[in-house]
Chains A and B, each alone.
Chain A
Amino acid sequence: MSEQQNPRLDPPGSRDWIVAPATAAGSGAIAVVRLDGPGCWRAASKVWRVSSRSDELPASPLARRLTLGRLVDESGAEIDEAMVAFFPAPHSYTRNDLVEFQCHGSPAVVSALIDALLAAGARMARPGEFTLRAFFNGRIDLAQAEGVANLIASRTRKAGRAALRQIEGGLSEEVLSLRDRAIDLAAEIEARLDFPDEEIPPADRKKMLDAFESLETGIERLIATARKGRLLRDGARVAIAGKPNTGKSSLFNALLGIERALVTPRPGTTRDTIEATLDIRGIPVVLIDTAGVRSEGTGEIERLGIERTLREVEGADLVLFVADASRRPDDEDRKSLDALGSTRRIVVLNKNDLPPASDAAEGFSGLFSPSRDSSDRETETPVVRVSALQHATLQPLETALERSLTGTGEEASEREGTIVTNLRHEERLHVAIEGIRRAHDAFARRESGECAMIDLNEALDSLGAILGLTLDDAVLSRVFNRFCIGK
């Protein structure tokens, strides 16, 4: 939801009454329908009656209080029993007058209620329009608005949590605190530029350099969460690959929990790729079953399938490389492994339920370990033994998947911490850290402060832009608070 592509700015319309279901489509226990706009109670009062026995119009609704009543359509026919709450401006989510209806979660009831409200003069809200109004009315800042948009689009629990933290101000708080530290640094520099005749002791260089460094670390940490953020927003593409007949499709079906891919004992059964979206430990995953890669005995169709596999592998965030644990690895295994290129992978030794060939284990360790001598944990390839036919054996695979996709070892902190899920924020953070680094360099080179300030100001602007804040005289105020200026 960047400023440039606001679709909802199309005039006229910001004073219209808008209506939309606030809960997801489909059946649930309760559905919430929201109506927003100046004076929208007038529309609400046309469809809502105080009690089931009375047709009396509610004269002055109790603000922010749930009241039971019944919903009626234009003709006066009853739609449903419902709770209604009226949030008069400016004490609502949008700072406009806003009405929330809680009715039974049947799609038929929801659509009848919406029809009645449309007949009463409202129009359907465009996607995100409530949030847009909240943002334009100054109810939430830009970061929060974007968080709401992500929340609306988020497909799984974990992504929802990241978006929720953004709304609650998690990102705003962290960026505010980083910006605050940058303002401190700027004040230290500016005080010595604008007030040479004051008794300001020379800057503590060591402290300043440390402050630059810790600021960089803080921003870097936020940027590092952006990869996870992207994953949570867009989902991860995970391709299952390997030579033919290692049980890739069985694994696909097992992870999915349904028989989706055709499975036969014949090698090369899967000719085309199959995709399915699923939730693995809260991460949205697009799982792709691919054709086995082999070099001989291939027909035209299978060859096309293999080409496609290679393309999928290239575009994947992660590859599950499947090998048959019951057989000794051969050249085909090696070739298909090579075909993966540099894509990150998990080696899945499938068919763990069958007795292993005498020297299979040795063969696999020869295949995977020698080239994996890196001490960097990020690039270490996990090896997991599973049996696609035994569901319980999939647990370690799911754990490995989660680890690989969200980064290793930081599970706990990252669950609690803020995750940057917005591309615009990520770009701003990159601009900010580059500014800080250049200012840091200029300071370290002992260049005069006005040079470092150009870059520091750029970083400050960029951090402020995430929150929709301008700098004004924040730096000067800090100077006056911290140093005794003035003769």
Chain B
Amino acid sequence: MSLTRYEVVVVGGGHAAVEAAAAAARMGARTLMAALDLDRIARMSCNPAIGGIGKGHLVREIDALGGVMALATDANGLQFRMLNTGKGPAVRAPRAQADKIAYPRWMRRYLETQVPNLDLAQGMVEGVLTDSRGRACGVEIAGGERVEARAVVLAPGTFLEGTIHVGMESHPGGRWGEPPSVRLAESLRRLGLSTYLLKTGTPARLARGSIRWDALEQQHGDEPPPPFSYMTDRIDRPRIACALTHTNPRTHAIILDALDRSPLYTGKITGIGPRYCPSIETKLVRFADRDSHQVFLEPESLENDLVYVNGVSTSLPADVQDAFLHTIEGLEDVRIVRYGYGIEYLACDPRELEPTLESRVVPGLFLAGQIDGTTGYEEAAGLGLVAGANAVLSIGGEEPLLFRRDEAYLGVMIDDLIAKGAPEPYRLFTSRAEYRLLLRQDNADLRLTAKGREAGLVDDRRWARFERFRDGLEREQERLAQTRIRPDEIPPAALESVGLDPPREALTLGRLLARPEIRYEDLCAWGFGPPGREEGPVSDRIAEQIDIQAAYAGYIERQRRMVERTLSMETFALPREFDYGSVPSLRKEAAQILSERRPATLGQASRLAGVNPADVTAIAIYLHAQRRRQPPHAPRGILSLRTRNF
């Protein structure tokens, strides 16, 4: 670490830190990433999988903004699937098993060789330095070394004052076998950040050779594997199968008998765990009528012999884990390499964050990942990218990079976090988005790449590829809307094959495509394709976009109108220095919350916990009345108003 002055210093080595450091460096900022162990960069501490419904959407958005996660997954995946193919395109999403050994190695190599302006350092960060005005200006590393920086991004994951629980035993730890960050937590509390405990957990790891694979149902990925990144055309790697088995009444009896030795049920663990990722003991207590639960066996890597046993996350004592795992079909003779554990760690109340992820308590300090109250590699990575980019933009005094709820799942997630906080670890679901049909995994680049390019996140290669796709799509949409054909030009046999009567009069190709029975490929097969169409990934994506937009046409239109309706709330700027106490009829509690949180817009105000619709009305009416009395001035909305073609 020769240089000790940076523009941005990123603390941590997980998925959030990696995206934050890569984003800041891509934008040209001199960046340092200080991680505890450079051999464990972007480690998958829990299940060796990336993506899923909602999470897969996020990875596509990260990719559209030039992020690393999708590229790393494509380069290190062991099995790829597109989920929900039986449902509509808006709720489809990619998921992949990733090689737990190869992924961190690839990531370190990538950061070292592919990202200019980035230095990596190994060490335990013990405190955030602030200047005389209370602004973050660097970090202190164990041993007394100080690194100066103009902005600091913190992404300590579960390390912040982590405590590991196995049965009634507990010890300090950030991950199994790794020390927690205790001094850093103290430093944050001293700076005035509000911290609270969260809980998560992970199941045991099994020895691959001790599992009776032939007794179990195999699960294979899709062929050909659907890639994560818009930059990847084809995935050529060895693929593996997972296996499916189930718990049974004998398993359940053992677990229920041991609840008196469960740290969760004896009150030893007080942190709040995620409801959607419960431990096996919680599942049995809450759904007592079920006599079986799914268990997925997921090999971790081609390079080791470990198998992740998905579905039985637990913090029960080792002897109980041993006993119940052996009752499961296929695991009769299983050897447990490492026991499951629960972990409690500190998060900082995300309601103290700006939408840029900058702390309101300590300017210049950005928080990303589990410290924001989220869970999941993908959520962390997304927050990391936004924090890293905004750290750079804040240094230059430039417009921040923000996303509305109708633009990106990133916008939904961040808005949820700062408006409602994260009383339980926050995970993204598509049902959290009100504009789900606009926020699809197939159009993340159409939604975000231009915005990322403007911020300096998207390199030339990605931009050129995106432009080719976007321009091709626009040209083709224009052609479909303009080209009229006579009914007799359509081969009658073709119509018959899709079960349609010939149209009565001439019509555009666009109208023909509006019939649910007709797909874009049909038009091309009937000779109505674009002249000189070349087979390839770009034309495949154009065809896919045209079909999806046709299938959802009416609904997409309605969602756009909904966006326009709420835009007035979202763009109704609230003055930052506004005295909420002066609003008549505004409840004292609401005025207090609003004074603390200082929402930027009325839309944000309406989503704050403790602010009810009546309060929002009171503010709106008061400000309307004030504005009528005063000469009009331009709204100070900080949110971008560009509308986009989704």
A299 on the B face (CB < 8 A): no
- Taking CB atoms and an 8 Å cut-off, the chain B residues in 279-293 that contact chain A are 283, 286-287, 290, 293
Q: Which of B90, B432, B614, B615 has the most CB of A within 10 A?
A: B614
Q: Write the chain A residue with the least CB distance to B298.
A: A487
What is the minimal beta-carbon distance from A194 to any residue of chain B, in angstroms? 5
Residues of chain A lying within 8 A (CB to CB) of residue B53: 193-196
What is the minimal beta-carbon distance from B14 to any residue of chain A, in angstroms? 21
B630 on the A face (CB < 8 A): no
Give CA–CA (A468, B613) in the complex, Å.
6
Give CA–CA (A219, B605) in the complex, Å.
31
| Binary interface encoding of chain A residues 457-487 relative to chain B, with 1 for a CB under 8 A from any of its CBs, else 0 | 1000000010010101101100110001111
Residues of chain A lying within 8 A (CB to CB) of residue B587: 136-138
Give CA–CA (A138, B47) in the complex, Å.
45
| Binary interface encoding of chain A residues 1-26 relative to chain B, with 1 for a CB under 8 A from any of its CBs, else 0 | 00100101111111100000000000
A362 on the B face (CB < 8 A): no
Residues of chain B lying within 8 A (CB to CB) of residue A472: 420
- Cross-interface CB contact of A486 among B83, B283, B606, B625, cutoff 8 Å: B283
Residues of chain A lying within 8 A (CB to CB) of residue B313: 487
A132 on the B face (CB < 8 A): yes
- Cross-interface CB contact of B311 among A136, A137, A457, A487, cutoff 8 Å: A487
Give CA–CA (A81, B90) in the complex, Å.
72
Give CA–CA (A15, B583) in the complex, Å.
10
- Taking CB atoms and an 8 Å cut-off, the chain A residues in 196-231 that contact chain B are 196-199
Contact yes or no, A484 B293, CB < 8 A: yes
A448 on the B face (CB < 8 A): yes
B87 on the A face (CB < 8 A): yes
Contact yes or no, B294 A451, CB < 8 A: no
Contact yes or no, A199 B293, CB < 8 A: yes
Q: Write the chain B residue with the least CB distance to A6.
A: B621
Q: Write the chain A residue with the least CB distance to B275.
A: A480
A105 on the B face (CB < 8 A): no
Contact yes or no, B294 A199, CB < 8 A: yes
A450 on the B face (CB < 8 A): yes
A57 on the B face (CB < 8 A): no
Residues of chain B lying within 8 A (CB to CB) of residue A136: 585-587, 614-615, 618
Contact yes or no, B584 A12, CB < 8 A: yes
Give CA–CA (A453, B582) in the complex, Å.
40
What is the minimal beta-carbon distance from B45 to any residue of chain A, in angstroms? 15
Residues of chain B lying within 8 A (CB to CB) of residue A142: 613-614
What is the minimal beta-carbon distance from B129 to any residue of chain A, in angstroms? 38
Q: Write the chain B residue with the least CB distance to A139.
A: B587
Give CA–CA (A473, B412) in the complex, Å.
13
B54 on the A face (CB < 8 A): yes
Residues of chain B lying within 8 A (CB to CB) of residue A194: 53-54, 91, 429-431
| Binary interface encoding of chain A residues 242-257 relative to chain B, with 1 for a CB under 8 A from any of its CBs, else 0 | 0000000000000000
A184 on the B face (CB < 8 A): no
Contact yes or no, A11 B84, CB < 8 A: no
Q: Which of A198, A199, A450, A453 has the most CB of B within 10 A?
A: A450
What is the minimal beta-carbon distance from A130 to any residue of chain B, in angstroms? 12
Contact yes or no, B277 A487, CB < 8 A: yes
What is the minimal beta-carbon distance from B340 to any residue of chain A, in angstroms? 13
Give CA–CA (A473, B436) in the complex, Å.
15
B612 on the A face (CB < 8 A): yes
What is the minimal beta-carbon distance from A144 to any residue of chain B, in angstroms? 12
What is the minimal beta-carbon distance from A187 to any residue of chain B, in angstroms? 9
A133 on the B face (CB < 8 A): yes
Q: Write the chain A residue with the least CB distance to B53.
A: A194
Contact yes or no, B437 A454, CB < 8 A: yes
Q: Write the chain A residue with the least CB distance to B617.
A: A3
With A9-B622, A11-B622, A484-B293 already in contact, the answer to whether A450 and B436 are too (CB < 8 A) is: yes
B529 on the A face (CB < 8 A): no
A449 on the B face (CB < 8 A): yes
With A9-B621, A485-B276 already in contact, the answer to whether A190 and B431 are too (CB < 8 A) is: yes
Give CA–CA (A305, B314) in the complex, Å.
88
Q: Write the chain A residue with the least CB distance to B290.
A: A484
- Taking CB atoms and an 8 Å cut-off, the chain B residues in 303-335 that contact chain A are 310-311, 313
Residues of chain A lying within 8 A (CB to CB) of residue B84: 193, 196
Q: How many chain A residues touch the partner (CB < 8 A)?
A: 47
Contact yes or no, B87 A449, CB < 8 A: yes
Q: Which of B276, B437, B559, B585 has the most CB of A within 10 A?
A: B585
Contact-residue size bin, chain B (C-beta under 8 Å from the other chain): 35 or more
Give CA–CA (A457, B437) in the complex, Å.
13
A135 on the B face (CB < 8 A): yes
Contact yes or no, A450 B437, CB < 8 A: yes
With A193-B431, A450-B88 already in contact, the answer to whether A484 and B286 are too (CB < 8 A) is: yes
- Cross-interface CB contact of A193 among B91, B294, B558, B618, cutoff 8 Å: B91
Q: Write the chain B residue with the least CB distance to A95.
A: B587
What is the minimal beta-carbon distance from A450 to any residue of chain B, in angstroms? 5
Q: Write the chain B residue with the least CB distance to A133.
A: B585
- Cross-interface CB contact of B617 among A6, A192, A480, A486, cutoff 8 Å: A6
| Binary interface encoding of chain B residues 394-437 relative to chain A, with 1 for a CB under 8 A from any of its CBs, else 0 | 00000000000000000000000000100000000111101011
Residues of chain B lying within 8 A (CB to CB) of residue A8: 585
- Cross-interface CB contact of A448 among B83, B88, B310, B625, cutoff 8 Å: B88
B296 on the A face (CB < 8 A): yes
Q: Write the chain A residue with the least CB distance to B607.
A: A470
Give CA–CA (A97, B606) in the complex, Å.
28
Contact yes or no, B87 A193, CB < 8 A: yes
| Binary interface encoding of chain A residues 166-210 relative to chain B, with 1 for a CB under 8 A from any of its CBs, else 0 | 000000000000000000000000101111111100000000000
Give CA–CA (A198, B618) in the complex, Å.
44
Give CA–CA (A10, B622) in the complex, Å.
8
Contact yes or no, A486 B276, CB < 8 A: yes
Give CA–CA (A39, B615) in the complex, Å.
23
Contact yes or no, B585 A132, CB < 8 A: yes
B603 on the A face (CB < 8 A): no
Residues of chain B lying within 8 A (CB to CB) of residue A197: 52, 83
Give CA–CA (A137, B618) in the complex, Å.
11
| Binary interface encoding of chain B residues 56-75 relative to chain A, with 1 for a CB under 8 A from any of its CBs, else 0 | 00000000000000000000
Q: Write the chain B residue with the least CB distance to A482.
A: B287
B176 on the A face (CB < 8 A): no
Residues of chain A lying within 8 A (CB to CB) of residue B614: 135-136, 138, 142, 468
Q: Write the chain B residue with the least CB distance to A461.
A: B434
Residues of chain B lying within 8 A (CB to CB) of residue A195: 53
B278 on the A face (CB < 8 A): yes
B196 on the A face (CB < 8 A): no
B274 on the A face (CB < 8 A): yes
With A136-B618, A451-B88, A480-B276 already in contact, the answer to whether A473 and B311 are too (CB < 8 A) is: no
Q: Could you pull out 26 A-B pairs where Cβ atoms are within 8 angstroms?
A: A9-B621, A11-B583, A14-B585, A193-B53, A194-B53, A195-B53, A196-B84, A197-B52, A198-B294, A199-B294, A449-B88, A450-B87, A450-B91, A454-B558, A454-B559, A468-B614, A470-B613, A476-B431, A479-B431, A480-B276, A484-B278, A484-B290, A485-B278, A486-B276, A486-B277, A487-B47
Interface residues of A, Cβ cutoff 8 Å to B = 3, 6, 8-15, 132-133, 135-138, 142, 190, 192-199, 447-451, 453-454, 457, 465, 468, 470, 472-473, 475-476, 479-480, 484-487
